[in-house]
Structure 1
Amino acid sequence: MKLIFATHNPNKVKEIQALLPGHIQMLSLNDLDYTKEIVEFGESIEANAKIKADTISELYDLPCFADDTGLEVEALGGKPGVKSARYAGQDKSDEANKKKLLKELEGKKNRSAQFKTVIVFKDGSKERIFTGLCEGEITKEPSGAGGFGYDPIFKPKGYLQTFAEMPASEKNKISHRGLAFQQLIEFLKA
């Protein structure tokens, strides 16, 4: 089975490729030489995933899926949320986003947070939505070299390590993205 993952992000592709059964061939937007940026103008994580899935579904005659992820921090009223990837504004690098978040949490005792991933799967007119949540807390400083994004400052509930300190195989079992993709994979197997 061929399937399009509507992303240019090589980190996401690598993370998800490790979860897919061998009979599923995943193509990213890079594999398709699709170079346009899909503008995420949705007001929610689900809306952004749907925008990406709809855009690619209209162009290619293959099943496709898109995801969007947000980090929701309790003390910040759910921010950065849908704007997680662009949290630092113009300087929207992973490093700048982490720095901004840590600065906003300085002096705050409540560091509870959750990652949320929504996947929208489209096959012609059929659409399915899968959601994964991972609760945890924001550390006071980055730790670990693995993963990407906010992984070095997110410690999942019940664990002593940040996502960035965990082996990828362990992270994929408990992460928001891993949980959402497990649902997608079970759906594809059915």
Structure 2
Amino acid sequence: MSAKCHSLTGVWRAGLTICLLWLGLLLPLVALSEEVLPDPQAVEARLAELRGEEGETPSAAQQRDIEALEATLAALERLEAVNERLAALEQRLEDAPAELLRLEREMLQEEEASMARSIADLDGLPLDELEYRQQEAVFDLQQLQDRLAEVNAQLLSAQTLPERVQQAIGEAMQNAERSRRALDTLEAQG
């Protein structure tokens, strides 16, 4: 296996290890968040109740409650989006070893195929056949390089996604907690 293949494998393994560690930290937070969050339908029902009929102006206290409930709904939506991104990341992590293996095999096959083409094999071919083969090889190489760049970009994104997800989960949990407290206060008042 070439040095490129070994360095690619090392990068993938390091990235996967980092992502798996982050997932180990994030999954308990997601499970915890699901236990303490209010039900979106209950929040929407309470919000509809406070808004009352069309044309009716809510009091200042009701307006604060409406704003708190709207903030709660927004926080719950953001948390749902974070959970979806986390699920997508988990799927990408599951798919990464197979993708890495496939790319390594392709690189190895390409290296073996290029070794098999000896000067003696190519010496007797006409120039137009050699040019055609060269164009095919350049095209194949370009496709592999493009795919490798895409995989590297995905790996970089996967390496930073847990940090962004953790930050978003923290913010969403703080917003949900503030909203939950406001909702508890609201329910205690009336």
Instruction: Report the TM-score, using the length of structure 1 for normalisation.
Output: 0.22
Q: When you count strand as a share of all residues, which structure comes out higher? A: 1
Instruction: Report the TM-score, using the length of structure 2 for normalisation.
Output: 0.22
